[in-house]
Every structure is written in structure tokens, then in C-alpha cells.
Structure 1
């Protein structure tokens, strides 16, 4: 089976400074995190906690195809779950 992303939902995880999303390999759920720094937010933006969640989720939506491609590559490379994507994975 190949990794698919049929569910477009994602959530902000303030404890991990990341966005959570899920892929599926057949019937198996595959958890992913992408660090908010990988979404192109500057250090000053990261300090603005009022709008941080909305900015990060919007950035995720904008970069969704690149994020899914990086997630598929990480999964194919055999990393361990939860798969944590960084800016090096996206660029």
C-alpha cells in the first residue's frame, strides 16, 4: 500500500510547537507532526501567541502539497512514528 491523506484535518499542538496531521497506509493510521518553524514563520511571528494557531494552520494549508510530499518521503525512508517533519524536509 502507499501512503494517502484522505482526511484533510490538522490540529495545532502548542505543547510540541507543531501541527498534527494523519496519513493512512491502507487501514493503518500514520501520525505526523510538522514543526511550526518549518512552515516559514519567523521568530517574531512565533512569539505572537494570539494569532499563532491561525497563522500556522493557514501556512499548513498553503504548503499542504509540499508537506504531504515530505511526509510520504519520510514514511518511505522508514523513519519511526510519530514522523516529525522539519524545515529541512520541506525545502
Structure 2
């Protein structure tokens, strides 16, 4: 069963780049205050920004420019249950 938008929140705007996984990581919280980790792969950021550079600053900037769209994708992907990590690719 999918949760509604109201059950997953993103109060912390922080995000980090994980070079070993080639993704930008960010966190949301569900109704139970569980921290849910989301990983946005470099390839997904490239789809959203076809003209971007491949360096860390450019990837973080691409995430920031598309934050609302990425958060909507995270809400669509999220399912309540034991899983606490999701990859957006």
C-alpha cells in the first residue's frame, strides 16, 4: 500500500554526494519519525539536466534545481514497511 504525501516529509534540506555510489543522498521522515534514505543516481540527475557537468558541485546543483521534482518522485516511490532506503534511478 502506498502512503500519501502527508506521511513522508522532508524537513531537512541537507543532501550529500556519495562518490563511491555515484549518487546524491537525502533523507525524509515518515509518520513514525523513521528516517528514510533516498539515493538519486548520477544518471537520473543527468536525465533531468542534460547539459550538466559530472563533478560533485554540478551534481549537487542539479539536485537543488530539481528538488521539488525529486521529492515528488521519492514520495511516489516510498511504501510504508520495513524498507528504509530507496534508489531513484
| TM, length-normalised to structure 2 | 0.79
Residue of structure 1 in register with 2:70 after alignment: 67
CA distance in 1, matches of 2:53, 2:62: 12
Q: CA RMSD in A?
A: 2.3
Question: C-alpha displacement at 1:78, in angstroms?
Answer: 6.7
Instruction: Give aligned pairs, total.
Output: 80
Instruction: Report whether the alignment pairs 1:13 with 2:18.
Output: yes
Instruction: Decide whether aligned partners of structure 1 residues 24 and 77 sit closer, same or farther in structure 2, where only a CA change above 3 A counts.
Output: closer
Structure 2 unaligned segments of length 5 or more: list them.
1-5
| TM, length-normalised to structure 1 | 0.77
Structure with more helix by fraction: 1
Of 41, 44, 53, the match for 1:38: 44
Structure 1 unaligned segments of length 5 or more: list them.
47-51, 87-91
Instruction: Decide whether aligned partners of structure 1 residues 28 and 81 sit closer, same or farther in structure 2, where only a CA change above 3 A counts.
Output: closer
